[in-house]
Amino acid sequence: MVKLLLLCLLVVVFDHNPNSTANREFKFKNVPSPSKDDAATQAKLTLIDGDLDGGSAELAALTDGRLPADEDEPGSNVYFRAGSSGGRFRMDFGSVINIAQVNSYSWHPNSRGPQLYKLYGADGTDPKLNLDPKRGVDPASCGWKLIALVSTISDHGENGGQYGASVSDVGKYRYLLFDVYVTELYDNWGNTFYSEIDVIGK
């Protein structure tokens, strides 16, 4: 399944491998497989708001190039606390880089598979830049630019499996902010199992 969503002139593509075919190789039709050596590998990750779940891996697991071997491996994924509405974290590349793609990967057999987040960027030159905007503060009001809304949520209840989402032609930024949302509110288990986030430089 492939969907195209045009927002802010940026194309977000996502792929879904259903439970029956998802495996540790994270191979997708259109989205490239996760990378062990991309611009995010050396980036500094900082939690801005929200709490990671007690069973979640450390934030660094998002960029370590390692992938879960199975569909339900909490310790190989990063996810916000059960029952919470998500949170925010920031990536710092140390200097401005030209970003071709931001690719995010997730895997869970049920409601923690799909992804929902807003991606913001900042080059660090705006004097009113707030590097740590908490929930309730619109990043766009304090020096961040909204790059894309990434949503792999389907309208026909197909939740489980493996997802890869790719934002292309992102632009020149030093910082990326991921504003990550719970994907369903039927129970406490709607925070996505994020396995890896790659940032591909130009």
Binding site for Ca ion (CB under 5 A): 35, 38, 61, 64-66, 196, 198
Residue closer to Ca ion, measured from CB, 53 or 64: 64
Residue closer to Ca ion, measured from CB, 119 or 143: 119
Q: For Ca ion, which residue has the nearest CB?
A: 196
Long-range contacts from 58-64, C-beta under 8 angstroms, 24+ separation:
59/89, 61/195, 61/196, 62/194, 62/196, 62/197, 63/91, 63/196, 63/197, 63/198, 64/196
* Contact residues for 157 (Cβ-Cβ < 8 A; gap 6+): none
| Cβ at position 91, least distance to Ca ion in Å | 11
User: What phi and psi values does residue 118 have, to the nearest 5 degrees?
Assistant: -105, 135
CA distance 85 to 82: 8
| Cβ at position 67, least distance to Ca ion in Å | 6
| Cβ at position 186, least distance to Ca ion in Å | 27
CA distance 70 to 104: 17
CA distance 152 to 116: 7
Residue closer to Ca ion, measured from CB, 67 or 143: 67
Structure-token pair, residue 89:
């974290």
CB count within 10 Å of CB 124 equals 14
Pairing relation of β-strands 116-122 and 161-181? Answer: antiparallel
| Cβ at position 99, least distance to Ca ion in Å | 14
Nearest C-alpha neighbor of 86 from the set 49, 131, 140, 132 = 49
| Cβ at position 60, least distance to Ca ion in Å | 8
| Cβ at position 182, least distance to Ca ion in Å | 21
Residue closer to Ca ion, measured from CB, 101 or 183: 101
Residue closer to Ca ion, measured from CB, 103 or 111: 103
Residue closer to Ca ion, measured from CB, 67 or 139: 67
